[in-house]
Amino acid sequence: MTEFRRIAVFGGVYNNAPALEAMLADARGRGVEAVFCLGDMGGFGPHPDRVFPLLREAGVLAIQGNYDQSLALGKTDCGCGYTDPRDNHFARISYEYTFAKTSMENKRWLGGLPAHRRLRLGTHRVLMSHGSPRVINEFLWESATPTGLLKRFLREGEADVLLCTHTGIKWHRALPDGTHAVNVGVIGRPENDGSTNVWYTVLTAGPDLSVEFIPVHYDYETLAHQMEREGLPPEFAETVRTGWWTTCLENLPAKERSRAKF
């Protein structure tokens, strides 16, 4: 298993090439040995194919998200796991746009991504997943993920550190036995706190694991203009400009929803 001392990890690009570019530049300045992406390259934003050259040029080591899996398999929906009619309405628009605008070559690349990655960060055994280790589109929200479940994932996955994304909001829980679970957040969409920046995570080996959440500021106004020019819903551009989610809210648990504007 490859061993590292310091890595950057991000999730959920959601077609946001400007944020990806800014994040990769930021990570280069922090002395990381490798950059990992936990999946979901598409959805939400404009011009899906602009993301892939950036990922390849930077040598990003990716795993597959549910969006990537759906695109690669030619499925009719994103498989995000929404149950609410309003969420599904916007998810459909976003998926159909991304499906139509992603090249076959990039779909094939997404289809070849692994479901998980394992590595060593110093002495820590790290397991990377998109949703959860058991289900690609399982939501692991901070207020809805029991510590007992995390212990089980870590035990069954023979890992000391579990990394995931999928929900769009970062969190870190240090468990009493010295193990860790981290939702690394997403760089494609602000995290519903009224700030326009997005987030990624830097992990550093040591006697204990160091987990730093790094804010990324990028040219969100350009992105919002591109979304409008591509005819994507004005609700999406509003999220980019305000930092508040306007869609895909119904899966938020009570605590996360109570901090939201909508």
Partner 1 sequence: MRLPLINGIAAPADAPRAPFLRLSALWIQITGTWCNLECVHCINASGPADPWLKPVRPEVVRRAIREAEDLGVKEIYFTGGEPFLHAEMLALLGDALEVAPTTVLTNGTLIDEAMADALAALARRASYSLEIRVSLDDTSPETNDRVRGAGSFSKAVAALVRLNERGLLPIVTATEIASAAHAGEGMYERFRRFLIAQGIEKPRVKIMPVFALGRLGREGDPRLTEADLAGFDRGLLQCSESRVVGDGGVYACPILAGLPGARLTEGTLKESFADAPLYHPACVTCVQTGMTCKNG
Angstrom distances, CA of residue 31 to CA of 35, 92, 202, 203: 11, 39, 10, 11
* Residue 63 DSSP label: -
* Integer Cα distance of 260 and 140 in angstroms: 17
Is the backbone of residue 231 left (phi > 0), alpha (psi -120 to 50) or beta? Answer: left
With CB under 8 A as the contact rule, the residue among 29, 59, 74, 85 that binds partner 1 is 85
Q: Which is nearer to partner 1, 38 or 248 (CB)?
A: 248
- Orientation of helix 220-229 relative to helix 17-28, angle to 10°: 150
AA identity, residue 150: L
H/E element, 106: helix 104-111
Smallest separation, CB 83 to partner 1 (Å)? 5
With CB under 8 A as the contact rule, the residue among 212, 219, 221, 250 that binds partner 1 is 250
Q: List binders of partner 1 among 129-188 (CB under 8 A).
A: 134, 139, 141, 143-146, 148-149, 151-153
Smallest separation, CB 254 to partner 1 (Å)? 4
x/- map, 220-249, partner 1, by CB under 8 A: -----------------------------x
- The two most distant CA atoms of the chain are separated, in Å, by 51
Smallest separation, CB 148 to partner 1 (Å)? 4
- Does 262 sit near partner 1 (CB under 8 A)? yes
CB 7 within 8 A of CB 31: no
* Interface with partner 1 (CB under 8 A): 81-86, 89, 134, 139, 141, 143-146, 148-149, 151-153, 249-251, 253-258, 260, 262
